[in-house]
Chain A
Amino acid sequence: MNLAEFFQVAPVAPDLLAPSLGLIIALPLLGAFICGVFGRMLGRANVHLIACSAVAGAFVLSVLAFWATSHTAPGAGDGARRLLAFYRNPFGIEADFVRYALAYDYGTWFAVGDFRVNFGLAVDHLSGILLLVITGVGFLIHLYSTSYMEHDDGYWRYFAYLNLFVAAMLTLVLADNLVLLFVGWEGVGMASYLLIGFWYTDPAKAWAGRKAFVTNRIGDFAFLIATFLMVLLVSAFTRQANAGDYAMAGSNSQRYQAALQEKGPLTFKGLEKMAEGLMDSNSDKVDLTTPIEAGPLEGYTFGGVMTAALLLFLLGAAGKSAQLPLYVWLPDAMAGPTPVSALIHAATMVTAGVYLFSRMAALLVLSPTAMATVAIIGALTSLLAALIAFAQDDIKKVLAYSTVSQLGIMFMGVGMGIFWAAVLHLVTHAFFKACLFLGAGSVMHGNGDETDIKKLGGLRHEMKWTWGTFLVATLAITGIIPLSGFFSKDAILHGVHHNHLEGLHWVSSAVYYLGLVIAASTAFYMTRLYLLTFEGPRSKEARVAHAHESAWQMTLPLVVLAVLSVVAAVYAFPLMRSSSGQPQAVFENFLSPVFSAMNRIANGAKTVELDTSVPHLADYVFAWLVALSGGGAAAFLYLRFFPARAGQPAPAFARAVRRTAQNKFYVDELYEFIVIRPVKFMSFILFRVVDALLIDTVAVRGTAWVTARVGSALRYVQTGDAQAYAAVMALALLGGVAYALIQVMQ
């Protein structure tokens, strides 16, 4: 048995594994329950064991599930192998199979009239890779936390929340419909809120949790409205589509309607089919410019509603993934414990927006406007965050802004239709950013919780493991060959450069040049962060004289993540052949079954021109030079220029720039002025007039006053004589009977 065959034969066959997919979610959920309810009784070691083993179990199951998505059996011919991992697409025609995937439907979750939501889970290559990232990185961070939180009394709460988060994130990724995805979406938001405000006795930290929650709520609201629009769109489509439309989607009316009855309107497969049906062709009735005939959206075109829904999804994704205009919560979210920042606010939760758009890629490519908006929002966020990161002195704040910036790069990729590269960057970013955050946590742990990089320095010799892994991760995010960050970022920039949106050609080059600036900026601030923390002499203001290296539970995850950030590069190598025989990146080939519908639509609807070329050597060299220039500038400034000018005041211009960047371009202040002040003013008016006057004085106290007065008047009626009460009853009976009699006589 050769190696390829080994990877193609899963230990557990897909049809055996599919009914157990729910266990992947149930295990961490059970862990959260046990840790949360019995954690205090169980003691620290048992809580560690339960929390870690729950995630480890989920990881093992995820590996099995991921493996099963590529399960094959020897075929009839020589060399050809038969794929066994597929399931019947209920929305397609009889012979329509979803390949390289397994799914299981646990039945109806709830149904209202025609609307139905199933508890359906599905694993394909996209969700499979995310499962591995979530449970794998999640396990490493659980392990790391056992040491990081060793002095905290709230350990059981912490691990319960962390397990809860993992369960919610897995729900988000495994869901096969938008509603179940939203459950996970809200679940991770709640877990994030709980963990940011973990040390809730500190008002600033509790406030940071609330800020994250409220900002996320704005996005979630948009998400919900977009979901409702989707329901309306599906019903309008089924009302108006003719056989041509269904043929376009590879389906027919009976099958589609039956699947809607069975699965509900919000499954991703159904939406994908609808997206294909909305393409323009000769024999169809419905395309993007067709007006909707009836219902609440009457008169709007399908394309217009689709764009509106996608833009609302973008707002939802911006809330969760910290993009403009809702990114402000993420830097403050660093108030939580550092492993939380690594898991939630770097590796997994914040990438939910990228996952959402990749999952709905088939819908997104129908609307070049929405795509362009996504790309531009991503680019602007990325640039703004990178510039802010220039002047931050808090090690975690720099990493937080770096995360916002990297997420912006992923959004650029998604917006320009280069989904596979965005997902690849998601994965590599999860590795190196988790490594950086954990490294930062290790630095803080070893230096008495010092976070100001100006007061660190020279840690290279004192924390060897942390230093080594941090360096690797820094090089990866900076984009130095041959680390993974270089390839994933370059794949995005290459795709951005060569893909073109229909009617919006300028977006491609604008975003590309912004991307180059971002790449250089990333190199600059990361090099600065690294140099100030690890190189040079130890700062005189350091809290502890000598830093100590952390325990193995903390360094082991660092090493694993550092190794992963190196080897993940292999995914971007053009080792495979596409169906047309061209060289193709491994990851692109790997994800092609997921994005096949997207490709069909992009080619059929001509909304985006997808480029399939692989980067040339010259492209690599150019990207490398860009990264080097940024890193070199930082190295020059912080190794030669500033040390040489020590004691001299910086130029006024530089100070002004620094102050602006340090104050985060006054975005928080702007929001304060535009949003928070008016809301507070309105709230004050409402408080004074409606609440204090109308409700408190008139309604509440007034009611009490009237009741009291009436009560004291009626006191005299209460003689305590049972017969008096009975007499009242008798009188009432007489009245009732007499009234009835009068009614009857009339």
Chain B
Amino acid sequence: MNIELILFGAFALLTLLSAGMVIFARSPINSAMALVSTFFFLAGIYVLLWAHTVAVMQVLVYAGAIMVLFLFVIMLLNLGESPTRGRPTLARLAGGAATVGLLAVLTITLLKLPQGASAMGPEAQASFGTMATMGQVIFTQWLFPFEAVSLLLLVAMVGAVVVAKSRI
């Protein structure tokens, strides 16, 4: 029982709990707050995976920017608790059953996988998941997708303004 496993267990449990709150909370505000905590705990798990840069970006982008957007929209639309629970339709029952089935199948599959991680040398460990390493890869091998994503963000920005505006 080492400290890493304990940390992982704690984070995983908290992540699943918050995720459960996201889907079961009655008020969208509560869902959104639960989602923020999910993102934070996930960032912790990313750190355990030595993905420090992605963990930082997770907090910045997801917990920061995206969540602010969600909360802003909820407040803008002035959404409170949903007055009634929707009645369970056939589609929802089927969807729920499919989800449970999928979880079962995935779990069986994953448990059959060989365990373990590749051992990395100390110098590889030192540079793994750092900003420098990622930057190296992004700006050489993945430069074109990177530029394409920047364009995508620009288009999304313009698109969001156009779609959300009441009249142009």
* Residues of A bordering B, CB below 8 Å: 719, 721, 723-724, 726-728, 730-731, 733-734, 737-738, 741, 744-745
Most buried by B among A726, A728, A734, A744: A734
Residue B99 lies at the interface, judged by CB distance under 8 Å to chain A: yes
Chain A residues with CB under 8 Å of B102's CB are 730, 733-734, 737
Given contacts A741-B108, A741-B109, contact A734 B91 (CB under 8 A): no
Would you call B98 and A738 a contact (CB within 8 A)?
A: no
Q: Which residues of B contact A721 (CB under 8 A)?
A: 89, 91
Shortest Cβ distance from residue B119 to the other chain A in the assembled complex, whole angstroms: 27
28 example contacts (A-B, Cβ-Cβ < 8 A) are as follows A719-B91, A721-B91, A723-B92, A723-B95, A724-B89, A724-B90, A724-B91, A726-B95, A727-B91, A727-B94, A727-B95, A727-B98, A728-B94, A730-B95, A730-B98, A730-B99, A730-B102, A731-B94, A731-B98, A733-B102, A734-B101, A734-B102, A734-B105, A737-B106, A737-B109, A741-B108, A741-B109, A745-B112
**In the complex, are the beta carbons of B99 and A738 less than 8 A apart?**
no
Q: Using a Cβ cutoff of 8 Å, how many contacts connect chains A and B?
A: 41
A93-B147 Cα distance, complex, nearest whole Å: 60
- C-alpha gap A737/B94 in the complex (Å): 17
User: Which residues of A are found within 8 Å of B92, using beta-carbon distances?
Assistant: 723, 727
Chain A residues with CB under 8 Å of B106's CB are 737
**Closest residue to B93 on the A side, CB-wise?**
A727
| Cα(A723)–Cα(B93), bound, Å | 11
Contacts A721-B89, A721-B91, A727-B94 given; 17 further ones with Cβ under 8 A? A723-B92, A723-B95, A724-B89, A728-B94, A730-B95, A730-B99, A730-B102, A731-B94, A731-B95, A734-B98, A734-B102, A734-B105, A737-B105, A737-B106, A737-B109, A741-B105, A744-B109
Residues of A within 8 A of B91 (CB): 719, 721, 723-724, 727
The list of the 3 closest CB pairs from A to B, nearest first, reads: A724-B91, A727-B95, A730-B98
A726 to B95, CA, bound (A): 8
Q: Separation in Å of the A144 CB from the closest CB of chain B?
A: 64
Kindly state the separation between the CA atoms of A481 and B94 in the bound complex, as whole angstroms.
103
How close is A730's CB to chain B, nearest CB, in angstroms? 4
Closest chain-B Cβ to A77's Cβ sits at a distance in Å of 72
Q: A741: which B residues are within 8 A, CB to CB? A: 105, 108-109
Set of chain A residues within 8 Å of B101, measured between Cβ atoms: 734, 738
Q: Chain B, 92-125, contact with A by CB distance < 8 Å: what is the 0/1 string?
A: 1011001101100110110010000000000000
A723 nearest CB neighbor, chain B only: B91
B147 → chain A closest CB, angstroms: 32
Complexed CA–CA distance, A731 and B91 (Å)? 10
What is the distance, in angstroms, from B58's C-beta to the closest C-beta of chain A? 26
A730, B92: Cα distance in complex, Å: 11
Give the complex CA separation of A733 and B90 in angstroms: 18
A508 to B102, CA, bound (A): 92
Q: Kindly state the separation between the CA atoms of A483 and B109 in the bound complex, as whole angstroms.
A: 100
Task: Determine the distance from Cα of A737 to Cα of B107 in the docked complex, in whole angstroms.
Answer: 12
Please give, as numbers and ranges, the residues of chain A lying within 8 Å of B94 by CB-CB distance: 727-728, 730-731
CA distance A744 to B106 in the complex (A): 13
- For the complex, what is the distance from the CA of A211 to the CA of B32, rounded to whole Å? 79
Max chain B C-beta neighbours (<10 A), residue from A723, A726, A730, A733: A730
Q: Which residues of B contact A730 (CB under 8 A)?
A: 94-95, 98-99, 102
In whole angstroms, what is the CA distance A450 to B106 when docked? 92
A741 to B105 Cα, complex, angstroms: 8
CA distance A738 to B89 in the complex (A): 25
CB distance from B135 to the nearest CB of A (A): 36
Q: Give Cα A738 to B91, complex, Å.
A: 20
Q: Which residues of chain A are near B99, meaning CB under 8 Å?
A: 730
Instruction: Return the chain A residue nearest B101 by Cβ.
Output: A734
| Nearest opposing residue in chain B for A738, CB measure | B105
Q: Which chain B residues lie closer than 8 Å to A744 at the CB level?
A: 109
**A27: shortest Cβ distance to chain B, in Å?**
47
Cα distance A719–B92 in the bound complex, in angstroms: 13
What are the residues of chain A within 8 A of B108 when measuring CB–CB? 741
Which residue from chain A places its CB closest to the CB of B91 in the assembled complex?
A: A724
- For the complex, give the distance between the alpha carbons of A583 and B106 in Å: 101
Q: Nearest A residue to B96 by beta-carbon distance? A: A727
CA distance A345 to B124 in the complex (A): 85
Shortest beta-carbon distance from A719 to chain B in Å: 7
Minimum CB–CB distance from B59 to chain A (whole Å) comes to 30
Most buried by A among B89, B95, B99: B95
Q: How far is the CA of A5 from the CA of B20 in the complex (A)?
A: 105
For residue B112, which residues in chain A have a CB less than 8 angstroms away from its CB? 745
Question: Complex Cα distance A731/B95, Å?
Answer: 7
* B101 CB to nearest A CB, Å: 5
User: Distance in Å from the Cβ of A738 to the closest Cβ of chain B?
Assistant: 5
Within 8 A of A (CB), among B72-104: 89-92, 94-95, 98-99, 101-102
Cα-based distance from A264 to B56 in the complex (angstroms):
66
Q: What's the minimum C-beta distance from A723 to chain B, rounded to whole angstroms?
A: 6
The answer for the CA separation of A745 and B90 in the assembled complex, in Å, is 32
A407 CB → nearest B CB, Å:
66
Q: In the complex, what's the smallest C-beta–C-beta distance from A727 to chain B, in angstroms?
A: 4
Q: How far is the CB of A735 from chain B (nearest CB, A)?
A: 9
**In the complex, A727→B102 CA distance in Å?**
12
Q: Which of B94, B98, B108, B109 has the most CB of A within 10 A?
A: B98
- A719–B90 Cα distance when bound, in Å, is 11
Min C-beta distance of B93 to chain A, whole Å: 9
In the assembled complex, the CB of A353 is this many whole angstroms from the nearest CB of chain B, namely: 60
- Taken together as a complex, chains A and B put the C-alpha atoms of A730 and B105 apart, in Å, by 13
Q: How far is the CB of A721 from chain B (nearest CB, A)?
A: 6
Alpha-carbon distance A730/B97, docked complex (angstroms):
9
Task: Give the docked Cα–Cα distance between A550 and B14 (Å).
Answer: 105
Q: Which of B106, B109, B112 has the most chain A CB within a 10 Å cutoff?
A: B109
State A723–B95 Cα separation when bound (angstroms): 8
Q: Are A733 and B109 in contact (CB under 8 A)?
A: no
Q: Within residues 29 to 77 of chain B, which ones have a CB less than 8 A from any CB in chain A?
A: none
A463: shortest Cβ distance to chain B, in Å?
77
Q: With a CB–CB cut-off of 8 A, which chain A residues contact B98? A: 727, 730-731, 733-734
A719 cross-chain contacts in B, Cβ below 8 A = 91
Nearest neighbor of B108 in chain A, beta-carbon distance: A741
- Complex CA distance for A124 and B89, rounded to whole angstroms: 87
State the CA gap A738–B98 with chains docked (Å).
11
Give bound CA distance, A171 to B47, whole Å. Answer: 75
Q: In whole angstroms, what is the CA distance A738 to B109 when docked?
A: 10
In the complex, the chain B residue whose C-beta lies closest to that of A737 is B105
Q: What residue of chain B has the Cβ atom nearest to residue A742's Cβ?
A: B105
Residues of A within 8 A of B105 (CB): 734, 737-738, 741
Q: How far is the CA of A721 from the CA of B92 in the complex (A)?
A: 10
Question: Taking the nearest CB of chain A, how far is it from the CB of B168, in angstroms?
Answer: 27
From residue B103, how far is it (CB to closest CB) to chain A in Å?
10
Least CB distance from A605 to B in Å reads 67
Select from chain A the residue with minimum beta-carbon distance to B86: A723
Closest to A725 in B: B91
In whole Å, how far is A216's beta carbon from the nearest beta carbon of chain B?
A: 55
Across-interface contacts of B109 in A (CB, < 8 A): 737, 741, 744
| Bound: A737/B99 CA distance, A | 12
Query: What distance in Å separates the Cβ of B72 from its nearest Cβ neighbour in chain A?
Result: 24
CB distance from A722 to the nearest CB of B (A): 10
Q: Which residues of the other chain, B, contact A733 by a CB distance below 8 angstroms?
A: 98, 102
Tell me, in angstroms, the Cα distance from A738 to B101 when the chains sit together: 9
CB distance from A179 to the nearest CB of B (A): 44
Beta-carbon nearest neighbor of A724 in chain B: B91
